[in-house]
A = this chain, B = another copy of it.
C-alpha cells in the first residue's frame, strides 16, 4: 500500500473494460467500478480526474490500440489471406472470451452516448475494421465493391453473434461465427 500503485495500469484498464462491457456505461456505477478494480472511488478519481466519462474514454482508446495491434496489423501483413485471418481469429476469440464477453462498441452505443464523446471513436473503429477486412477480401480476388459488402457483413455477423450469445446464454453463436468467418470473407 502507501504511495505505490496497488494495481498495474494495463490490469486496471482491463478490469474497467470488462465492467463497461458487462454493464454498459450507465450500468457501470462507480461503486461497481471500484469493486471491479479493487480500488476505492476516490482512488479512481485520482487516476481519472474526469470521472467515469474519462474512464470509458480511456478504455475505448485502449481498445483502439488493441484493435490496431492484434487485428488491423496482422490483417495488413503480407502472406496468404487465409493465414492472416486465422492469426486474427485467435486473438478475437480471446478478446471476446470465446463469446462470453460483449463488445464495448455495442455496449457504449446506447442513449445519450449516441452523439456523445464516444460516438466518433466507435464509428472510426467499425470503419477501420471493415476497411481492413475489405482489403483482405480484395487480396483474395474480390472486386472493390463486393469486398466492402462482404467485410461489412462479417462485422455485422460478429456483432450479432455476440448479441445472440448473450441472449441465448451460450457462446455457441459466436463459435459458429469464428468458424465460418474466413469462408464468409473470402
Contacts and interface: CB of A to CB of B under 8 A. Distances in A.
A93 B155 CA distance: 21
B27 A167 contact: no
Interface in A83-115: 102-103, 105-107, 109-112, 114
A176 B123 CA distance: 18
Nearest to A25: B27
Interface stretch (A33-41, A62-70, A156-164): A156-164
Interface in A144-186: 149, 152-153, 155-161, 163-164, 166-169, 173, 176-177, 180
Contacts of A167: 105-106, 109, 122-123, 126
A119 interface: yes
A163 B156 contact: yes
B166 A109 contact: yes
Main SS class of interface, A: helix
Interface in A1-55: 22-27
B163 A23 contact: no
Given A109-B167, A156-B160, 20 more contacts: A22-B114, A24-B26, A24-B27, A26-B26, A27-B110, A105-B167, A122-B167, A123-B169, A126-B168, A152-B173, A153-B157, A153-B180, A155-B160, A156-B161, A156-B173, A157-B160, A158-B160, A159-B159, A160-B160, A160-B161
